[in-house]
């Protein structure tokens, strides 16, 4: 009976050990210094001042096409780029059903194939290697650049956005000083966890054929834990599991040794 009770105690201790370890992984505290940096960087990301944005980038080093949600965590849009395709071409298509115009949009990278860059004619002699979004003018067959791609998604209030600027010149708008204004594109990202595809890109509207707006719905726009943080949690769990197995096997050896000692100390009945 003693050995059975000891086994049950070891099993209960093993279960409690694992539950405690999982609770520690889920509720593990962070250092105060990391919290202060994270809090200050999130405050800076909410400001529109470019100097504040540059300070936040210096304090928290984020990879291109990633950002921090001010309230819920880490957002990684790299799954919508060619990086997720092992360097293969990745472009997203959207259509303006009123004008029949087809747009091609890239996320954080150019949507133009390298084989096309050497032969395509871009309007206003823009830098073709930095194309973020474009459409083809049916009258001239030239590529109209709608902005150079950017790798910095930014939260404007509660909306995740990305802005492409310095595109081809606008046809109908002039600045106050008489200079021509260049086209730009605004991408808004919406979290959609139920979407089966990677993303759905929709054309929303344009302002005087100079500023274009698109909505990108994708589960990649949903906040998650950072990959480095996930790896740390996995390592902690593995260490806890190894410690639990060590306790289990060492407990079994102790039980066997106690049983052997008990048998040795038991007197042999006389016949």
Mean pLDDT by 10 residues, the chain (271 residues): 60 68 56 40 42 47 85 86 67 90 91 77 76 89 90 90 92 79 94 88 92 94 68 70 72 68 58 45
State the Cα–Cα distance between residues 44 and 57, nearest whole angstrom.
9
Determine the pLDDT at residue 47: 42
> Whose CA is closest to 153, among 87, 221, 84?
221
Residue appearing with tokens 């409690």: 16
Going by their DSSP bridges, the two strands 211-218 and 184-191 should be labelled as parallel
Determine the pLDDT at residue 50: 44
**228 token code pair:** 């480095």
Residue 135 near residue 108 (C-beta atoms within 8 A)? no
Determine the pLDDT at residue 8: 63
Residue 189 near residue 156 (C-beta atoms within 8 A)? no
Q: How many CB atoms lie within 10 A of CB 173?
A: 15
Supply the pTM of this predicted model: 0.61
Determine the pLDDT at residue 42: 39
Residue 56 near residue 38 (C-beta atoms within 8 A)? no
Residue 92 near residue 215 (C-beta atoms within 8 A)? no
Element (H, E) at 114: helix 114-117
- Return phi, psi of residue 63, to 5°: -75, 160
Phi-psi region of 46 (alpha: psi -120 to 50; beta: other; left: phi over 0): alpha
Determine the pLDDT at residue 203: 95
Cross-strand bridge partners of residue 202: 215
Determine the pLDDT at residue 11: 67
Give the orientation angle of helix 50-59 with respect to helix 32-45, to 10 degrees. 150
Determine the pLDDT at residue 9: 67
Q: Which fold has domain 66-221?
A: Cation-dependent Mannose-6-phosphate Receptor; Chain A (2.70.130)
Determine the pLDDT at residue 216: 95
Determine the pLDDT at residue 232: 63
Determine the pLDDT at residue 90: 82
State the Cα–Cα distance between residues 105 and 170, nearest whole angstrom.
18
Give me the half-sphere count of Cα atoms (radius 13 Å) on the Cβ side of residue 160. 26
Determine the pLDDT at residue 5: 64
Determine the pLDDT at residue 252: 66
């Amino acid at each position: 009976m003693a050995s059975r009770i000891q086994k049950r105690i070891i099993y209960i201790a093993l279960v409690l050990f694992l539950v405690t370890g999982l609770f520690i992984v889920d509720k593990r505290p962070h250092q105060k210094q990391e919290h202060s940096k994270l809090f200050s960087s999130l405050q800076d990301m909410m400001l529109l001042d470019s100097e504040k944005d540059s300070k936040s980038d210096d304090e928290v080093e984020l990879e291109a096409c990633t950002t921090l949600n001010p309230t819920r965590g880490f957002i990684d849009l790299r799954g919508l780029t060619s990086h997720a395709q092992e360097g293969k071409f990745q472009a997203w298509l959207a259509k303006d059903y009123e004008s029949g115009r087809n747009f091609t949009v890239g996320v954080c990278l150019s949507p133009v194939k390298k084989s096309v860059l050497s032969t395509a004619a871009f309007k206003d002699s823009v830098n073709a290697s930095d194309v973020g979004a474009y459409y083809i003018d049916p009258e001239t067959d030239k590529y109209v650049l709608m902005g150079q791609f950017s790798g910095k998604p930014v939260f404007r209030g509660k909306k995740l956005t990305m802005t492409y600027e310095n595109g081809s010149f606008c046809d109908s708008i002039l600045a106050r000083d008489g200079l021509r204004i260049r086209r730009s594109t605004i991408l808004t990202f919406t979290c959609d966890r139920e979407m089966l595809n990677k993303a759905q890109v929709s054309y929303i509207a344009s302002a005087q054929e100079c500023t274009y707006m698109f909505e990108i719905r994708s589960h990649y726009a949903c906040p998650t834990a950072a990959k480095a943080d996930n790896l740390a949690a996995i390592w902690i769990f593995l260490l806890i599991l190894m410690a639990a197995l060590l306790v289990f096997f060492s407990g079994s050896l102790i039980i066997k040794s106690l049983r052997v000692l008990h048998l040795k100390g038991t007197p042999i009945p006389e016949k």
